[in-house]
Amino acid sequence: MMAQGFRLIGESTPRMDGIAKVTGQEVYSSDIHFPNMLHARVLKSPYPHARVKRIDVSEAEKLGAIVVTYREVPDVVYCPRLVSTPEATYKDWRVLTGRPLYVGDPIAAVAAESEEMAQRALEAIDVEFEVLEPSFDPLDSMRPEKTSIHERIMYMGKEIKIENNIACTMEIEQGDVEKGFSEADVVLEREYRTNRRYHCQLEPKTAVVRPEPDGGVTIWTTTQSIHNTRLLIHEIFGIPAGKINVVKTALGGAFGSSIQTNIVVPIAVALALKAHKPVRLAYTREEDLHEHCSYQMIFNLKLGAKRDGKLTAGSLEAILDIGAHQIQAYPLLGCLVGWWVSLYKLPNLRYVGKAVYTNKVPSCAMRGFGNPQITWAVESMMDELAEELGIDPVEFKLLNHVGLGDLFWGQGPTVKSIIKSSGVEEIVRRGAKLIGWDKRPKPGEQRGRYRRGIGFGRGFHTSSAGGPVPGTAVDYTGAMLKVNEDGSFDYITALMDCGGGTLTAHAKIIAEEIGVPLECINIVRSDTQTTLYDVCTHASRGVYAGGMAALQVAREVKRKLLELAARVLDAYPHALKIRPDEERSQGVIYVEGVEGREITIGELASMARHKNWGTIAAVASVRQGSCPPHFTAYFVEVEVDTETGKVRPIRVVAGADVGSVINPKLAEGQIHGGFAMGWSMAILEDTPYDPENGDLMNRGFINNYKLPTPADLVPPDRFTVFFANTYEPTGPLGAKGIGEGALNPVAGAVANAIYNAIGIRFYELPITPIKILKALREREGG
Amino acid sequence: MRIRFKLNGREVEAEVEPNTLLLNLLREQFHLTGAKYGCGIGECGACTVLLDGEPILSCLTLAVEVDGREVTTIEGLAGDGELHPLQRAFLEEGAVQCGFCTPGMILTAKALLEENPNPSEDEIREYLKGNLCRCTGYVNIVKAVKKAAEEMAG
């Protein structure tokens, strides 16, 4: 089924916050400024693992600075991410610490009248450390003789002991794995190791906190969830939730790094409460690099298949390097197995996942939440397995893929639902045709300096963490819609737009459903005090889950409008229609076929005021009962320079099944951006550590952390994006998510393309020029 | 130190320290927050403004250097409520996502179109390579610059 008969859905419309963004008038949290505001700086551990023996802040205070140390902040152990229920939440964070666990761990903070004065005060703090033994590799960290990184953490209100630095584990077994492998004609087993990437959202983490006369605080910060920020500050500081107001500002990118409340927020709250003045804490890029990164993973993956191409069994052992703290390690162990089993049907399977502490920057979700990592490994192995079996990878993957009518594990074992729409066949077949899959070279046959290859990778991501039963992930959204007296509408939601144009999509859904021009919908700049709860903009849920709340209030408001109009027009509500009147910029309610029986929404709303009928409005808090996957397929052509080891993208063909496409140009933009991030995951990005000092080897920015520039990617005429004709029955007007599926299969497609070009497979990311040259030399000599 | 310069077409004066950065002067004294801090070391391009028409990194430029010269920020690009063709094209082509790189990207593109009114896609990609974007993969940005160039050529 495909979307039909829509007026706005499927048409490209400019994003509604666009004028503010192109004129420099958009307000990000880093732009918030108050005349009497103090500037904050944070004292951080120079050691990866240490204990503070002595700290003296008297010299800093003599300079007039407000200082807080780990001794003064509330003695509360918390988890900065509040998406999961208590059963799936482990707590091991404090606002400031006397036992730093990574280089950059905050120990104390200062606030002063200028950033320069704050820095001088910071340098005046005298600290003496006792240096402890660090661990940088999860395999090393698990050895029993290693020093504990956390001896005890909190779970469900009780202390639990941590053994061998293993933060949490998960094991799942279905069917008979040994029997499954014994039935296979071909079994492959490989170890894959991913990189540890940095989100590099362009806006570094920032918090501005203003203390209020009633003892509360107002907060402007880089967050993907204003409500979870409020809940966390309530949990740590005990301020009544109603007195904590978190105000929405534009977000300069996040990619998962602000699902959790960033550490700058509680630090700035502590300073502002002590200073009784507004405090701004804006991280520098170097500090931001020490605030978050993606999860590095080691997989031992084993797949077995029969000669006819049917998979018989799979086993996955995953070791996750989570860094010094848990942000969402346990939910990730669940999602990881969910992503793995939802790619291809495995009649027998075994999964063991371990999340391990190391003395490194805490890891968090990064666009895809483990899905890009496991999909890279699986798509690499499926390509290799297809070759062993002598079957075309396209056919092999289509034969085994999880599709229509199958059980989808969405966000892990507690979030399962049945797939009700799938465009997998369509996007894979059409993509293969567009790239010229049948004409691709045979792997490793080429000689000469430049060698080209085509690779295929497919994947998916969930749309929300909704489901038919509650599970361990919180997932619901609130929305309010009211009709103004001129026929315009105020739409109020706490849901954040991370840049995808999510709220413009909501406005389109509302305008489409009611039948009014898009410009009638005003997206209200809101805050926690005036909105219903929304969990977070993550899990590609903004359009699918958030959009459903928008749709429900639109339906309710429409019902009320028609009821009132029926009185005025002397007609039956169900016989009335609404048409957009672009000239008058509003909707007109009319009786079909009876001339002259019509009223504009503005006239009706004014009448409702004069006659004291009340405000025409609706409010809803909506939980989706499903989490449909959106699917993507990438065909990528690359060129490998065998003299420099550099890889260049030549052509990209990307097909996506996102259900109804709400805003095609912005949807394509998600694919373009997903490709860029996946491309650099495959060949560029990593954050290695210096074992000598335990710090990141990259302490600057792109001079050491490689990001693609416009010159490194493909021009528009060599990037083809197309969408499947599907309609998701549980989605708002047929829509699913897009943000993460846009990235997930890219690294696998690129790795397969490199194999196709030079006949060498790589089991460690990123596939850097050095690795390529080394492998070529080993095989070809020279 | 007192400096005088032209800011978005208007003569202005400011009292600055010898080490005040242009980015901070614009953001803190003139409250023009369109230029962004992205890295502070001249690598991301989010702080780009035009100095006598040339794109510069305001995070690496001392405020005193603009004395007697002309600075244009993103706030000075739209005239009398009319968007500049680049601003319009960025909007229409979906070249804006989170928007944090957008002001710098548009100003760099403006300098390009003044140097080369009809750039090829490759020339656009080459010229913009000092401005990082993490959202768009640059595809719609390149399309937008091309579209604006066509529109400006009439």
Helix runs in A347-457, H state only = 371-389, 393-400, 424-435
Residue where the block lists tokens 């958009």? A26
By residue count, chain A amounts to: 782
Q: How far apart are CA B37 and CA B47, in angstroms?
A: 6
Helix (H) / strand (E) element for A230: namely helix A226-237
From residue A466, give the alpha-carbon distance in Å to each of A542, A730, A731, B64: 12, 11, 11, 56
Same domain, A402 and A486: no
Examine residue A179 and state whether it is found in any structural domain, yes or no. no
Is position A642 within any domain? yes
Asked whether residue A398 falls in the same domain as residue A480, the answer is: no
Tell me, yes or no, whether A526 lies in a domain: yes
The answer to whether residues A467 and A626 touch, using CB atoms and an 8 Å cutoff, is yes
Q: Give tens-digit pLDDT for B64-107.
A: 999 999 999 999 999 777 999 999 999 999 999 999 999 999 99
pTM score of the predicted model: 0.98
Smallest CA–CA distance, residue B92 to chain A, in Å, is 5
Mean pLDDT by 10 residues, chain A (782 residues): 79 97 98 96 98 98 98 97 97 98 98 97 98 97 96 96 98 98 98 97 98 98 98 98 98 98 98 98 96 98 98 98 98 98 98 98 98 98 98 98 95 91 98 98 94 98 94 96 98 97 98 98 97 98 98 98 97 96 95 94 98 97 97 98 97 98 98 98 95 88 77 95 98 98 98 98 97 95 67
Is the minimum CB–CB distance between A702 and chain B shorter than 8 Å?
yes
- Does position B108 have pLDDT exceeding 50, yes or no? yes
* DSSP track, A296-315: EEEEEEEEEE-TTS-EEEEE
Select the residue of B87, B93, B142 nearest A23 (Cβ to Cβ).
B87
| Residue A464 structure tokens | 């929300």
Please indicate, yes or no, whether residues A581 and A715 belong to a single structural domain of this protein.
Answer: no
Contacts of A710 in chain B (CB under 8 A): 124-126, 128-129, 131, 133, 138, 141-142
pLDDT value, residue A86: 97
Are residues A211 and A338 located together in one domain of the fold?
A: no
Could you give the domains of chain B? 2-76 (3.10.20.30), 85-153 (1.10.150.120)
The structural domain count of chain A equals: 3
Contact A673 B36 (CB under 8 A): no
Q: Which DSSP string corresponds to A602-651?
A: HHHHHHHHHTT----EEEEEE--S--PPEEEEEEEEEEEETTT--EEEEE
Any domain includes A13: no
Amino acid A1: pLDDT: 46
- Cβ contacts of A204 on chain B, cutoff 8 Å: 37-38
Q: Are the C-beta atoms of residues A247 and A527 closer than 8 Å to each other?
A: yes
Model pLDDT, residue A703: 61
Same domain, A104 and A59: yes
Residue A178 falls within a domain, yes or no?
no
* A305 and A284 assigned to the same domain: no
Q: Is residue A82 part of a domain?
A: yes
User: Nearest residue of A to residue B105 by CA position?
Assistant: A22
CA A745 and chain centroid, separation? 15
Tell whether A602 is covered by a domain: yes
* Residue A231 near residue A74 (C-beta atoms within 8 A): no
- Choose the final residue of a domain: A581, A603, A622: A622
* A522 contact partners, CB below 8 Å, separation of at least 6: A484, A488, A489, A490, A491
Chain B contact for A251 (CB, 8 A cutoff): yes
Of A622, A648, A668, the residue at which a domain comes to its end is A622
Chosen from B72, B80, B138, B147 to mutate, greatest number of chain A CBs within 10 A: B138
DSSP lists the bridge partners of residue A651 as A637
The verdict on A266 and A406 lying in the same domain is: no
Q: Are residues A449 and A539 in the same domain?
A: no
Closest by Cβ to A703, choosing from B27, B43, B135? B43
Answer whether the bond into residue A347 is a cis peptide, omega within 30°.
Answer: no
Q: What is the ipTM, given to two decimal places? A: 0.99
* Residue spans of beta strands (DSSP E) within A642-759: 647-657, 719-723
CATH number at residue A380: 3.30.365.10
3-class state of residue A549 by DSSP: helix
Residues A444 and A505 in one domain: no
Closest partner residue to A202 (CB to CB) among B38, B126, B139 is B38
Q: Which of A205, A375, A212 is closest to A292 using CA atoms?
A: A205
Q: Are residues A519 and A637 in the same domain?
A: no
In sequence order, what are the beta bridge partners of A246? A219
From residue A582, how far is each of A476, A516, A519, A655 by CA, in Å?
34, 8, 9, 34
Closest in B46, B74, B125 to A715, CB measured: B125
Short-list A676, A751, A665, A766, CA closest to A714: A676
Dihedral of alpha carbons A548, A549, A551, A552, sign: positive
Residues A490 and A525 in one domain: yes
Question: In terms of domains, do A357 and A488 share one?
Answer: no
Task: Note the pLDDT of residue A4.
Answer: 67
> What pLDDT is recorded for position B154?
81
Residue at a domain's end among A602, A622, A642: A622
CATH number where A115 lies: 3.90.1170.50
Q: Is residue A670 part of a domain?
A: yes
Report CA dihedral (A321, A324, A327, A332) to the nearest 10 degrees.
10
Domain that holds residue A245: 32-132+202-253+258-289
